Amino acid sequence: MLKIAVYGKGGIGKSTTVSNLSSAFARMGLKVMQIGCDPKADSTRGLLGGKRIPTILDTIREGKPDIKLEDLVFEGADGVLCAEAGGPTPGRGCAGKGIVTAFEQLNSLNAYQIYEPDVVLFDVLGDVVCGGFAAPLRDGYADVVLVVTSGEMMALYAAGNICTAVRDFAQYSNLTLGGLLVNKRNIEREEERIAQFIDEVKVSVFGTIPRCTLVQDAEELGQTVVARFPESEQAAVYCDIAARIVETWGGKKA
């Protein structure tokens, strides 16, 4: 089981990237599980026809007795297993702590042992400013971290903080900083800013995702590019990144 945490600033296209990678892995014949770790609980919409699923935290709050895995995990397109951690009631509680609670609930139900996924993707919100959002790094849930960014200044700022956190945690674990997934915005001086960031932070680019209108076209239909436009050049980009992830880290075990 290869466990990948994908981080990035909110609005950078992280969930779109993760969902397309999930579709690509599934079409390689792998069993995939995607866990959204954003209070908005919208990570898996592109795998579920645009629909939202009950979050783990909402299900726990309802006080339902004898919660089962089928109450928390739902099958999406290409057979991808989808779960959303969810968040606290607006204005109350800590979203990061909610992630920890959701992870603990999945563990208590032996989710990974029962489903036996080949790849688990954690879609994690933004900057690492809260211990809860660092749970995939700190508590041994993830093997590899990929950071989604563009050449925008705030996206790079968040990416730098995430890289620092990963390196700190890696001193005490087998955690690997896999590199950047550059989700291009085609802004002025984008290439220059990314090159400067790479030089300063000493991190590599694992993959580059060009800006493409097919991404929005697919999302409006509640689908991934890989599923909706499988023969497109954009789908090939995601499939190539997924194949290289397996080639590079496929030997990592839980």
Q: Catalytic site residues?
A: 9, 14, 40, 127
Q: How far apart are CA 8 and CA 146, in angstroms?
A: 9
Q: How far apart are CA 204 and CA 114, in angstroms?
A: 35
- Closest by CA to 145, choosing from 131, 165, 130, is 165
| Cβ–Cβ under 8 Å, residues 15 and 36 | yes
Report in angstroms the alpha-carbon separations of 70 from 61, 77, 139, 249: 16, 16, 25, 30
Structure tokens at 204: 């590599």
Counting DSSP H helices and E strands in the chain, the numbers are 10, 8
| Cβ–Cβ under 8 Å, residues 17 and 149 | no
- Closest by CA to 26, choosing from 148, 122, 147, 118, is 118
Which strand ranges, in their side-by-side order, compose the sheet holding 144-149? 74-75, 81-84, 32-37, 119-125, 2-8, 144-149, 176-183, 205-209
Structure tokens at 120: 């688990």
| Cβ–Cβ under 8 Å, residues 169 and 131 | no
Structure tokens at 171: 């001193």
